Amino acid sequence: MPLPKLETPTYEMVLPSTNKKIKYRPFLVKEYKILLSAIDADTDEITRIVKELIDVCTFNKIDVEKLAHFDLEYLFLQIRAKSISEITNIFVNCDCGEKIPFALDITKAEIENKTKQDNRILIDDSVGVEMRYPKFEEILDLYENTTSEKAIEIIKNCVNAVFTKDNYMDRSTFTDEELTEFLNSFTKKQIDKLEEFFNKRPKVVQHIDVQCPSCGTQNKTSVEGIQNFFV
């Protein structure tokens, strides 16, 4: 006699960037095992696994390659909450050296800076730069390599086009070397305009406040980065 087939529950959520409802289901055991393998994986492998799992858990109804990074992270949290637990245990580092255990409720994560920015940024009176939001793998890389050089590299990668009053130059029309030379000609105030777009991008964040049991310090910090919510 064949074993019974279990019915997998389905849920709905609103995709932050579009406000459209999408359906999703929890991870199955075989998928959860794949997720566990990503804990110590490199950026490329984590990206592949997360995108594949989100694709199957949303019934192949959305194009994960076109998702904004904050959409993908937020969606992952919703699936993770329904699949494993709404709580994940982390440690908060106090200045005194104490590692404070904290039960993080991932359903309280929020998307900051949801108001859509103008991605066409005027550098001077005649030249502008069109930006895109960073991809999921670029943000993941930044979380793992938090340096000013890495941030500048990603900002450069997010240049979608350069335009003037008379011309629109898509990214495919100029080389990486030409773009580097172009950006190197910016003043500090001009490059700050691109950095402001990047820094004000929407992102999934959870703010926490926990008192250190050793020294009594009230530690206020923010948690972001999908790797904090794997298991």
Check: CB of residue 8 under 8 Å from CB of residue 25: yes
Residue 167 above 90 pLDDT? yes
pLDDT at residue 143, rounded to an integer: 76
Confidence band for 38, pLDDT divided at 50, 70 and 90: confident
Whether residue 231 has pLDDT greater than 60: no
Residue, of 39 and 190, whose pLDDT is higher: 190
Give the N- to C-terminal CA distance of the chain in Å, as an integer: 36
Q: What is the residue-averaged pLDDT of the chain?
A: 89
Assess whether pLDDT exceeds 80 at residue 40: no
d(CA 60, CA 83): 18
Arithmetic mean of pLDDT, 204-222: 93
Confidence of residue 230 (pLDDT cuts 50, 70, 90): low
Other Cβ atoms less than 10 A from the Cβ of 66: the count is: 9
Predicted model pTM: 0.80
Is pLDDT at 22 greater than 90 in this prediction?
yes
Question: Can you give the pLDDT at residue 149?
Answer: 81
Mean predicted confidence (pLDDT) in 36-47: 80
Q: What is the per-residue pLDDT across 120-146, written as a single tens digit (0 to 9) for each?
A: 999 999 999 999 988 888 888 887 777
Compute the average pLDDT of residues 185-203.
Answer: 91
User: What backbone torsions phi and psi does residue 15 show, to the nearest 5 degrees?
Assistant: -70, 120
Task: Say yes or no to pLDDT of 190 above 60.
Answer: yes
The residues, ordered by sequence, that sit 6+ positions from 187 with a Cβ below 8 Å of its Cβ are none
The pLDDT > 70 percentage for the chain reads 98
| pLDDT at res. 146 | 72
With 0-12 CB in 10 A as exposed, 13-18 as middle and 19+ as buried, what is 150? middle
Instruction: Quote the CA–CA distance of 124 and 20 in Å, as a whole number.
Output: 37
DSSP secondary structure string for all residues of 101-121: EEEEEGGG-EEE--SPPP-EE
Which pLDDT belongs to residue 46? Answer: 85
Residue-level pLDDT at 99: 95
User: Read out DSSP for 185-221?
Assistant: TS-HHHHHHHHHHHHTS-EEEEEEEEE-TTT--EEEE
Q: Is the pLDDT of residue 109 over 80?
A: yes
The tokens for 150 are 């890495």
Across 28-32, 114-118, 127-131, 150-154, the highest mean pLDDT is recorded for 127-131
Task: Decide: 194 and 131 in contact? Cβ < 8 Å.
Answer: yes
Tokens representing 103? 């039960």
The arithmetic mean of pLDDT across residues 177-196, rounded, is 94
pLDDT digits (tens, 9 = 90+) for 25-34: 999 998 888 8
